[in-house]
Amino acid sequence: MKIATVQAGSETMHGVVVDDTLVDLRDSYADSVAILEAVSGGSGDEVVAAMTSSPRIDLASVAFLPPVLALKRILCVGTNYAEHVAESPSVTEAPDHPMIFTRFASSLVGHGQPLVRPPESEAFDYEGELAIVIGRTTRRATRENALDAVGGYSCFMDGSIRDWQRHTKQFTPGKNYDKSGSWGPWITTGDEVGDPYALHLRSLVDGEEMQSAATTQLIFDLEAILVYCSTFTTLEPGDVIATGTPGGVGFARTPPVFLAPGREITVDIPGVGRLTNSVIDEE
């Protein structure tokens, strides 16, 4: 099941994507997180039943928004693929623990919405990632039950203003410029994804492949990330954890490849989704 939130004219809708339509489930569920919780809690049949009597809207007539609007937690794992560790000047070896930083909801847009390059920097870089979306409230998960916390998966573009990321050892400013990242187009539920270690991630700039990796290459796997994060914070339905980017980001290329107006970035994870955004300069 693909759970999405969209803008249709002046209305915000949430529901399930079927073919080229959104089944509008506003009458049955308060928001996209309520649908995700229902599916994660074993009530997927009730969602399917609600879908039979709900209106549909053509996706061509709507704009995708971030799949969850009222985000409580956006956790991101840094340097979680060996090739990216090797190309990152600030990191000399893989860390002993997952390197966690956070993003604000205001730093993220949905599929198809423009990313905004700020006037302070031209070092606007892409990072394609697989995101976990939490489906069940979880604290102190164990490796054995960690994946039970997962409601679904999404594509994530951890857009980074590199010079601002490296002003100090703290990533927060360079990872949180308004509208500098994206995720979506939807959350594909865990039952539909199946084995998350059978996934393959690619990033493309203007259609040219820049990053390509299997999720089996993660240094800290999904269980390790969930165990670590749920130890210090209660993970709640709708929380997002971006799991890290593979090698091939723009700053490490010769010459560098940065995002600029007229360029398009795509994060493609077959079985999860394909997230594409164009780039504009801040007005």
Pairing of the two strands 11-18 and 2-8: antiparallel
158 touching Mg ion, by CB under 5 A: yes
Minimum distance of Mg ion from residue 231's CB (angstroms): 21
Stretch that binds Mg ion, among 45-53, 223-231, 233-241, 242-250 (CB under 5 A): 242-250
Residues between 125 and 154 that touch Mg ion (CB under 5 A): 127
Minimum distance of Mg ion from residue 240's CB (angstroms): 12
Stretch that binds Mg ion, among 30-38, 86-94, 185-193, 245-253 (CB under 5 A): 245-253
Give dist(CA 39, CA 152) in Å, integer.
Answer: 10
Give dist(CA 273, CA 201) in Å, integer.
Answer: 10
Instruction: Name, in order, each residue with C-beta under 8 angstroms of 255's C-beta and a sequence gap of 6 or more.
Output: none
Task: Give the interface size with Mg ion as a residue count (CB under 5 A).
Answer: 3
Minimum distance of Mg ion from residue 5's CB (angstroms): 23
Rounded to 10°, the helix 32-40/44-52 angle is 130
Answer for the pair 147, 241: CB distance below 8 angstroms, yes or no. no
Minimum distance of Mg ion from residue 78's CB (angstroms): 6
Q: Which tokens belong to 79?
A: 């340097």
Q: Which is nearer to Mg ion, 51 or 269 (by Cβ)?
A: 269
Q: Which residues of the chain form contacts with Mg ion (CB under 5 A)?
A: 127, 158, 245
